C-alpha cells in the first residue's frame, strides 16, 4: 500500500507566460498559499485478488478510467516495481464541497 497527502494550494497571483523560454523565467512572479486544514488523502492498495482496477472517492466507487494512466505511472517507478496486482485507489477529501456548476450570486 502507498499513501500520499496533497494539501490544497490556491494561486492568488498566477504568472502569465515566460519572459525567457531558455531560462524558464516567468513574465511575472506568482503568489500562492497552501491550506493546512484542507487536503486529499489517497491510498493505493495493490491486490492480486482484484479482477479489475477499482477507484473509491469518499467511500463511493467511481470510474477508474480517468486515473488509469496515473496508476500505471506509479507502478512504473523503480521503487514500486515489486508491487503486483491490480490497484484500488481510495481517496478521501477534507475539502469544502461546492456544486459542480458555479452558482450566480444575487444582490
* Residue 43 near residue 50, CB atoms below 8 Å: no
Q: Which helix (H) or strand (E) holds 55?
A: strand 55-57
In the block, cell 500520499 appears at 4
Q: What does the DSSP 8-state code read for residue 78? A: G
The model's pLDDT over 38-62, given as tens digits with 9 standing for 90+, comes to 888 888 887 778 888 888 888 888 8
What gap in Å lies between CA 105 and CA 28, rounded to an integer?
31
**42 in Cβ contact with 12 (< 8 Å):** no
User: Along the 107 residues of the chain, how does pLDDT read in single tens digits?
Assistant: 778 899 989 888 877 788 888 888 888 888 889 998 888 888 888 777 888 888 888 888 888 887 778 777 776 776 665 666 666 767 777 776 655 555 555 55
Amino acid at each position: 500500500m502507498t499513501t500520499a497527502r496533497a494539501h490544497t494550494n490556491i494561486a492568488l497571483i498566477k504568472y502569465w507566460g515566460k519572459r525567457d523560454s531558455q531560462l524558464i523565467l516567468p513574465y511575472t512572479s506568482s503568489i500562492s498559499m497552501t491550506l493546512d486544514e484542507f487536503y486529499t488523502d489517497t491510498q493505493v492498495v495493490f491486490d492480486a485478488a482484484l479482477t479489475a482496477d477499482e477507484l473509491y472517492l469518499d467511500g463511493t466507487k467511481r470510474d477508474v478510467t480517468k486515473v488509469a494512466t496515473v496508476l500505471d505511472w506509479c507502478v512504473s517507478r523503480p521503487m514500486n516495481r515489486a508491487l503486483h496486482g491490480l490497484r484500488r485507489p481510495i481517496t478521501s477529501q477534507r475539502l469544502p464541497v461546492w456544486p459542480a456548476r458555479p452558482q450566480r450570486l444575487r444582490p
